């Protein structure tokens, strides 16, 4: 089996005619970590609910672990584990009791049950709290307890929904290590997170869902490279327009191949309040910050070449001479914003 999860034209339309997922085609290779990204309301939760057999698709097909979610839901359920964002263990039961309950609900043989739970507790380092009630645990401990309960039946595929939200940096790293270990052990992991750094670090592949569609899918580096390429082209076009108009007025010291339009840092030959004011007044500039060394750090609102062109034109028309431009390499966050904003604009159009 090549893919742990495959969807073909998977669609969910709710009773109020709201299309939450629209012909989603997705492939998640076996034994990989897949990052599912998307803004709030994009359709991630609905997709997960269909994949975990909590709701029925309206049309299309979803195959999980080789089983059709509509035809063999119980077979699918046996293969899945889920660590939800909100810890959903019974607060009055201990970590051990919650794990036993889950094991029995998954049909784990009694003779294996407790030893398996103990092993998992050791793996996630929560054994010391096994007789504590879940309601008495800290946020990190609860997530670990939730992991034990979700892994007790040795699921092939593990869904993690914002597993590190609200956790301190140390606990977060411990969980990251654990996720890698689980993946090394052969678990396919679907990670839903808004922490771009987390997704960038952990995931083999990333899919960005927006308004019920898959709008981007690649490795994290592949997505960033594609954005860089797109930006480079847009920036070159913007720059050539400006250069043709006022060729002598600017110097660009940086390598163009590293340019991104999202964040720009500009150093003027002579800084002038009037120039700064004209930049601040530009509707394309989202934020401006003057560094101690005189650099003007800008965040451009949007990626279209006109926005950059407008900002550079403002500087030049105010008499500014650009000494240098630094830019930052696009991050996964940039990819996310560009992917989701583009679709939103298309939708509005």
Return residues touching another protein (CB under 8 A): 49, 52-55, 74-75, 77-78, 80, 82, 84, 86-90, 92-93, 97, 101-102, 104-107, 133, 149
Min dist CB 257 to another protein, Å, is 48
Min dist CB 124 to another protein, Å, is 17
Min dist CB 304 to another protein, Å, is 40
Q: Report the distance separating Cα 13 and Cα 16, nearest Å.
A: 8
Nearer to another protein, 148 or 250 (CB): 148
Nearer to another protein, 90 or 256 (CB): 90
Nearer to another protein, 51 or 250 (CB): 51
Min dist CB 162 to another protein, Å, is 13
β-strand pairing of 67-68 with 322-327: unpaired
Min dist CB 4 to another protein, Å, is 17
- Phi, psi (degrees; rounded to nearest 5) at 52: -100, 15
Judged by DSSP in three states, 206 sits in strand
Nearer to another protein, 85 or 318 (CB): 85
Neighbours of 2 (CB within 10 A): 7
Question: Does residue 196 contact residue 202 with C-beta atoms inside 8 Å?
Answer: no
β-strand pairing of 157-161 with 80-83: parallel
Please name every residue paired with 282 in a beta bridge, in sequence order, or none if there are none.
none
Min dist CB 111 to another protein, Å, is 14
Nearer to another protein, 191 or 259 (CB): 191
Judged by DSSP in three states, 25 sits in strand
Q: Report the distance separating Cα 120 and Cα 311, nearest Å.
A: 56
CA nearest neighbour of 332 among 2, 35, 19: 35
Min dist CB 103 to another protein, Å, is 10
Judged by DSSP in three states, 313 sits in helix
Judged by DSSP in three states, 101 sits in helix
Angle, helices 220-245 vs 305-317, to 10°: value is 40
Nearer to another protein, 49 or 323 (CB): 49
């Amino acid at each position: 089996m090549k893919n742990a999860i495959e969807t073909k034209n998977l669609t969910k339309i709710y009773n109020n005619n709201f299309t939450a997922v629209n012909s989603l085609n997705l492939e998640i290779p076996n034994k990989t970590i897949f990052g599912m990204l998307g803004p709030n309301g994009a359709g991630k939760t609905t997709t997960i609910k269909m994949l975990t057999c909590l709701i029925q698709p309206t049309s299309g097909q979803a195959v999980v672990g080789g089983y059709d979610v509509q035809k063999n839901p119980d077979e699918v359920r046996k293969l899945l584990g889920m660590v939800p964002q909100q810890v959903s263990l019974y607060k009055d039961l201990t970590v051990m009791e919650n794990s036993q309950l889950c094991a029995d609900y998954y049909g784990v043989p009694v003779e294996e049950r407790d030893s398996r739970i103990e092993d998992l507790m050791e793996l996630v380092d929560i054994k010391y709290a096994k007789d504590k009630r879940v309601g008495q645990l800290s946020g990190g401990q609860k997530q670990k307890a939730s992991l034990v309960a979700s892994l007790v039946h040795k699921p092939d595929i593990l869904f993690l929904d914002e597993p590190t939200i609200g956790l301190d940096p140390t606990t977060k790293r411990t969980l990251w290590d654990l996720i890698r270990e689980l993946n090394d052990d052969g678990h396919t992991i679907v990670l839903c997170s808004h922490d771009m750094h987390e997704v960038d670090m952990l995931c083999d592949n990333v899919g960005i869902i927006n308004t019920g569609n898959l709008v981007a899918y690649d490795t994290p580096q592949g997505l960033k490279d594609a954005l860089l390429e797109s930006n480079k082209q847009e920036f070159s076009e913007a720059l050539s327009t400006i250069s043709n108009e006022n060729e002598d007025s600017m110097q660009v010291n940086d390598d163009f191949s590293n340019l991104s339009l999202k964040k720009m840092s500009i150093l003027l030959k002579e800084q002038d309040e009037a120039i700064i004011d004209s930049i601040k007044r530009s509707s394309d500039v989202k934020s401006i910050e003057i560094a101690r060394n005189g650099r003007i750090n800008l965040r451009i609102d949007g990626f279209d070449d006109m926005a950059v062109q407008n900002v550079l034109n403002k500087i030049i028309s105010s008499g500014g001479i650009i000494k240098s431009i630094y830019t930052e390499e696009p991050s996964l966050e940039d990819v996310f914003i560009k992917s989701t904003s583009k679709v939103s604009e298309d939708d509005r159009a």
